[in-house]
Amino acid sequence: MSADTRTDSPPYLQEGGDFDRDMDYLPDRITRDARRPEHGPDAPTRPVEPGRYHLVAARACPWANRAIIVRRLLGLEDVLSLGLAGPVHDQRSWTFDLDEGGRDPVVGIERLQQAYLARDPDYPKGITVPAMVDIPSGQVVTNDFPWITHDLFHEWQDHHRPGAPDLWPADLRTEMESVMDRVFEDVNNGVYRCGFAGSQEAYDAAYDRLFAALDWLEERLTGQRYLMGDQLTEADVRLFTTLARFDAVYHGHFGCNRTKLTEMPVLWAYARDLFQTPGFGETIDFGQVKEHYYRVHTDLNPSGIVPRGPLVDGWLAPHGREVLGGKPLELD
């Protein structure tokens, strides 16, 4: 699993071999005036303050990739700094080996683990990205990835760029949350259920569930440009980060090999449409993605050999989805 150093351990398999993702993250929220948020867990809050927080992410990780995209779409670059860990971590932590001297230039740490231990010297869980770090204290605030992007939209609106997209339309929220739930359970996490299945039965069930969901998405997107219709929303961000990695790692490395993304015509065109949208494709580094999965998951790939393919030129090919209309983004 990309976002979590806990993933290769058998204790994270349920009885029967089903992969069990631990969703118990640091629940703190960063909200406008430290108010109690309307949605989500009732957790400690800290106030939104430009320049106070540092988003630590990794281009290799799909969960962190969401936060990178949303930050860019909303124009938060000047108020929320971004630190990028390298693609390969050990059992202790993500590291900043891409930065000069191997240190994050904003917080000054070599390992993301240091921000977790600054908050809790006995922190018992995995060191995950994305993570929001409080710069003055050097402490991690939250690593609860679904709520990080949710709050970047809802709680940081005073700092959004002019014309920032409405990623959470109020009139679509109920349906959107239902769509995102299935995308998460069957696709985002579904590929991991295949890759880390501990039995043939668990793998077969995960495989069938994944491709049933992809077939459902193929049908849903046939007559509309985005998951929720004409408007790009966070639902598209969440699906995109899995599709972008599908042929490069999930198809082979995780055994999700009924069909490549490039063999699903609607989803492939949809993914190219998003890839070519400002704020999306520029966040993808296929080299880092492959290096992470094939080198970190030593139980799945003991040799550590990183495949040279697949070719990625097709991501820039015309997608033809303009005929469906919609409201494509324009960023400065």
176-185 long-range CB contacts below 8 Å, 24 or more apart?
176/227, 176/228, 176/233, 176/234, 176/235, 179/227, 179/228, 179/235, 180/234, 180/235, 180/238, 182/213, 182/216, 183/213, 183/217, 183/227, 183/235, 183/238, 183/239, 183/242, 184/146, 184/238
Q: Is 147 annotated as a binding residue?
A: no
pLDDT < 70 positions in the chain: 1-12, 332
- What string of DSSP letters covers 219-230? HHTSS-SBTTBS
Q: How far apart are CA 219 and CA 9, in angstroms?
A: 36
CATH class in words for 10-159: alpha beta
Q: What pLDDT is attached to residue 41?
A: 81
Residues of the chain with CATH 3.40.30.10: 10-159
**Peptide linkage before 50 cis (omega within 30 of 0):** no
Q: What pLDDT is attached to residue 6?
A: 39
Report the phi/psi class of residue 141: left, alpha or beta, with left for phi > 0 and alpha for psi in -120 to 50: alpha
Q: For residue range 245-283, what is the model confidence (pLDDT) as tens digits?
A: 999 999 999 999 999 999 999 999 999 999 999 999 999
pTM confidence score: 0.95
As a whole-number percent, the residues of the chain with pLDDT over 90 amount to 87
Residues of the chain with CATH 1.20.1050.10: 172-324
Q: How far apart are CA 107 and CA 52, in angstroms?
A: 11
Q: What pLDDT is attached to residue 167?
A: 98
Q: For residue range 38-56, what is the model confidence (pLDDT) as tens digits?
A: 888 889 999 999 999 999 9
CATH 3.40.190.150 corresponds to the domain 172-324: no
Supply the residues annotated as catalytic.
61, 192
Angle between helices 62-74 and 145-154 (to 10 degrees): 10
pLDDT mean across residues, the chain: 94
Q: What pLDDT is attached to residue 12?
A: 66
Burial string for 138-166 (b: 16+ CB within 10 Å, else e) reads bbbbbbbbbbbbbbbbbbbeebbeeebbe
Of 29, 36, 24, which Cα lies nearest the Cα of 142? 29
